[in-house]
Amino acid sequence: MRASTLSSALLLALALQAAPLSGQAAELTRRPFGHTPSGEAVEAITLTNGQGVSATIITYGATLQALIAPDRTGKTADIALGFADAAAYARNASYFGASVGRFANRIGKGRFTLDGKTYQLALNNNGVAALHGGVKGFDKVVWTVLDAKSGPTASVTFGYLSPDGEEGYPGALNATATYALDEQNNLTVTYGATTDKPTIVNMTNHALFNMAGEGSADGAMGNVLTIPADGYSPVDAELIPTGETTPVAGTAFDFREPTAVRARIRDASDPQMVMGRGYDHNYVLNGKSGGALRLAARLSDPKSGRVLEVLSDQPGLQVYAGNFIDGTTVGKSGKIYRQGDGIALEPQHFPDAPNKSQFASTRLDPGQTYRNTMVFRLTTTK
């Protein structure tokens, strides 16, 4: 074959690889989703692929409102807890599916020091800690749609400019949240941020999953969980990490082998389980953070065969088994949500990191870019 013919063949092959085949491009649709109490319009963006998977994200809180996944027979169910309209999200401080920040999780006493200056945040967690960014964190604002597109991977990017001093945090923070769905059933969520002053940042997604389907009669306690972590962060009575790392071996926190969530969640012999009312703890993930994505958790439902793998580049994974859902919340399918109806698997930096020098730093300086990438990968088992 002559060189010119070979070059033409290679160009044609590359072009065919780059072009999506008919019916394989993921789609994006947009629709109104109601209004906030102050009258701000909220929009819903749905990403749908050709495999029966779809993700709906709303501009209020850049929130994952729904995640539709097929079971082993192709029957679909929504596996993410949530509400049917914007007003319900505003009424319920549940964080279901929300993008939480400026600092996800807890900061003890709501206080931290940066460059010799102490900052006091709102004590919005039982009066003893700052939680998920404050009284009006990123979960309670309407984000702007910066980009939305269909294609081999459908995606939407949201932006929010948090002004200097908002909720007590220093620096104007330019935050972004991108959701992208491909044909391999990977929903990739990427958080980014830049600042004009030194500050602290720790953003994550607070989706609560039930692989049997949200609102299912048996809840999520029958879901089987695997976490590749040899240690976790014990907490004090205010649910603030002590700063230590405790081996999971021989404890109720050991999910290195697939284990039903319900198996040890009521083990009152472990004081940590009593203080958290179950699982509400940071796991110290095995492997190096800040680089390539690695498995952070695997959650499955044996009956339906639905499997969710969570991949992360972060050092920790907060596992929360819906311990504080008290039966007063009605979800989008008209079912009452109760304790144990969903499981949050939140890749992030460690709670109270600004006050624990032994934890990885959450400081962000001008000229730097904060990033947290997680992948929710959906598969099935036979």
Q: How is the chain split into domains, by residue range?
A: 27-380
Would you say 227 and 118 are in contact if contact means Cβ atoms under 8 Å apart?
no
Question: 133-142 b/e with 16+ CB inside 10 Å = b?
Answer: bbeebbbbbb
Confidence bin at 10 (pLDDT 50/70/90): very low
Active site annotation includes 167: no
pLDDT, average across residues 330-358 = 97
Share above pLDDT 90 across residues of the chain, in percent, rounded to a whole number: 92
Out of 43, 167, 214, 346, the active site residue is 346
* Burial class (CB within 10 angstroms; exposed 0-12, middle 13-18, buried 19+) of 156: buried
**Helix or strand (DSSP H, E) at 339:** none
* Burial class (CB within 10 angstroms; exposed 0-12, middle 13-18, buried 19+) of 122: middle
- Residues 297-311 have pLDDT tens digits of 999 999 999 999 999
pLDDT at residue 24, rounded to an integer: 66
The span from the CA of 91 to the CA of 329, in Å, is 10
Confidence bin at 93 (pLDDT 50/70/90): confident
Rounded to 10 degrees, what is the CA torsion of 51, 52, 53, 58? 130
pLDDT at residue 25, rounded to an integer: 77
What is the residue-averaged pLDDT of the chain? 93
Out of 43, 166, 183, 206, the active site residue is 206
Share above pLDDT 70 across residues of the chain, in percent, rounded to a whole number: 94
Confidence bin at 132 (pLDDT 50/70/90): very high
- Residues 217-268 have pLDDT tens digits of 999 999 999 999 999 999 999 999 999 999 999 999 999 999 999 999 999 9
Q: How far is CA 342 from CA 54, 114, 125, 179, 222, in A?
A: 19, 36, 20, 21, 11
Would you say 46 and 55 are in contact if contact means Cβ atoms under 8 Å apart?
yes
Active site annotation includes 35: no
Q: Of the candidates 354, 333, 380, 332, which has an alpha carbon nearest to the alpha carbon of residue 63?
A: 332
Strand segments (E) across 111-170: 111-114, 117-120, 129-131, 144-149, 153-162
- Residues 134-192 have pLDDT tens digits of 999 999 999 999 999 999 999 999 999 999 999 999 999 999 999 999 999 999 999 99
Concatenated DSSP letters of 217-277: TTTTTT-EEE---SEEE-B-TTS-B-S--EE-TTSTT--SS-EEGGGTTT-TTSHHHHHHT
Fold that domain 27-380 belongs to in CATH: Beta-galactosidase; Chain A, domain 5 (2.70.98)
